[in-house]
């Protein structure tokens, strides 16, 4: 049995991928404004930033329905002297 995503799921995955790419290609610019914060990216733009992931999720829950959050990319923006290991 193979899984085939719905059209809506496919769009969410593609949007998430674009939002992720926005983060990775703009990390230096993001660092100048959001270093040490957690950010949410939607439609290739930072829509929210908070100092903790819990605060960020709490605010996102106020803005988006659960089904709408699937394409939102959430990440920590490291300080200049921090190293991220994935």
Instruction: Please give the model's pTM, rounded to 2 decimal places.
Output: 0.87
Which pLDDT band holds residue 66 (cuts at 50, 70, 90)?
confident
DSSP 77: E
Domain spans of the chain? 7-77
What is the pLDDT at residue 29?
Answer: 96
| pLDDT over 70 (residue 74) | yes
**Rounded-to-integer distance, Cα 33 and Cα 55, Å:** 18
Q: Could you tell me if 51 and 38 are in contact, meaning their C-beta atoms sit under 8 angstroms apart? A: yes
Which pLDDT band holds residue 43 (cuts at 50, 70, 90)?
very high
Q: Could you tell me if 76 and 34 are in contact, meaning their C-beta atoms sit under 8 angstroms apart? A: no
**Rounded-to-integer distance, Cα 56 and Cα 49, Å:** 7
pLDDT tens per residue across span 12-23 = 999 999 999 999
């Amino acid at each position: 049995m193979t899984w085939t995503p719905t059209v809506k799921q496919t769009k969410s995955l593609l949007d998430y991928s674009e939002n992720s790419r926005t983060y990775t290609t703009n990390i230096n610019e993001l660092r100048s404004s959001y270093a040490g914060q957690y950010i949410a990216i939607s439609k290739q733009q930072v829509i929210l930033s908070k100092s903790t992931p819990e605060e960020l999720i709490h605010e996102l829950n106020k803005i988006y329905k659960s089904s709408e959050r699937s394409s939102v990319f959430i990440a920590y923006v490291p300080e200049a002297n921090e190293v991220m290991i994935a």
